[in-house]
Amino acid sequence: MKKSRKELEKECAEAATKAEQYQHQAQRLENRYHDYQESKRKKRNHRLITRGADVESVAPAVRSMSQAAFRILVEQIFSLPEVAALVSRATDQQEGG
C-alpha cells in the first residue's frame, strides 16, 4: 500500500520532532551529569580546604612548609602506630554513632 505525499511529509515531520525531543533529552541528561560531577568536585574541594585549615590551626608551623616537606611530615605522622590506632578508634566511633 502506497502512502500519499502528505502522509509521508507528516511522518517525516513527526520523526524530526521526535529526533529533536531525543536530542533535548540527551542534552538534559548530559547537563545533569555535569552538574552532579561539579557538585562532587565542589564538595571534595570544600572538604580538603577545611581539613587543611584545621591542620594549620592546630599546627601553625606547617603554614611555612613546602608541599613536599608537609607531605613527608604527614606520611611520617600517619605511619606511627599510635596515630594509626587513634585514627582507627576515631573512625570506629564515628561509624558506631
Compute CA 32 distance to the chain's CA centroid, rounded to the nearest angstrom. 13
DSSP reduced 3-state for 2: coil
pLDDT at residue 72, as a whole number: 97
pLDDT digits (tens, 9 = 90+) for 7-23: 999 999 999 999 999 99
The values of phi and psi at residue 59, to 5°, are -130, 80
Boundaries of domain holding 83: 65-97
Regarding whether 47 and 9 lie in a shared domain, the answer is yes
Give the residue ranges of DSSP H helices in the chain. 5-58, 67-79, 81-96
Regarding whether 8 and 42 lie in a shared domain, the answer is yes
End-to-end CA distance of the chain: 72
Return per-residue pLDDT of the chain as tens, 97 residues: 788 989 999 999 999 999 999 999 999 999 999 999 999 999 999 999 999 999 999 999 999 999 999 999 999 999 999 999 999 999 998 887 6
Regarding whether 71 and 33 lie in a shared domain, the answer is no
Cβ–Cβ under 8 Å, residues 73 and 62: yes
Regarding whether 53 and 69 lie in a shared domain, the answer is no
Regarding whether 69 and 41 lie in a shared domain, the answer is no
Q: Domain count of the chain?
A: 2
Regarding whether 54 and 72 lie in a shared domain, the answer is no
pLDDT at residue 17, as a whole number: 97
Regarding whether 41 and 4 lie in a shared domain, the answer is yes
Angle at 10 between CA 9 and CA 11, to 5 degrees: 90
Regarding whether 76 and 40 lie in a shared domain, the answer is no
pLDDT at residue 62, as a whole number: 96
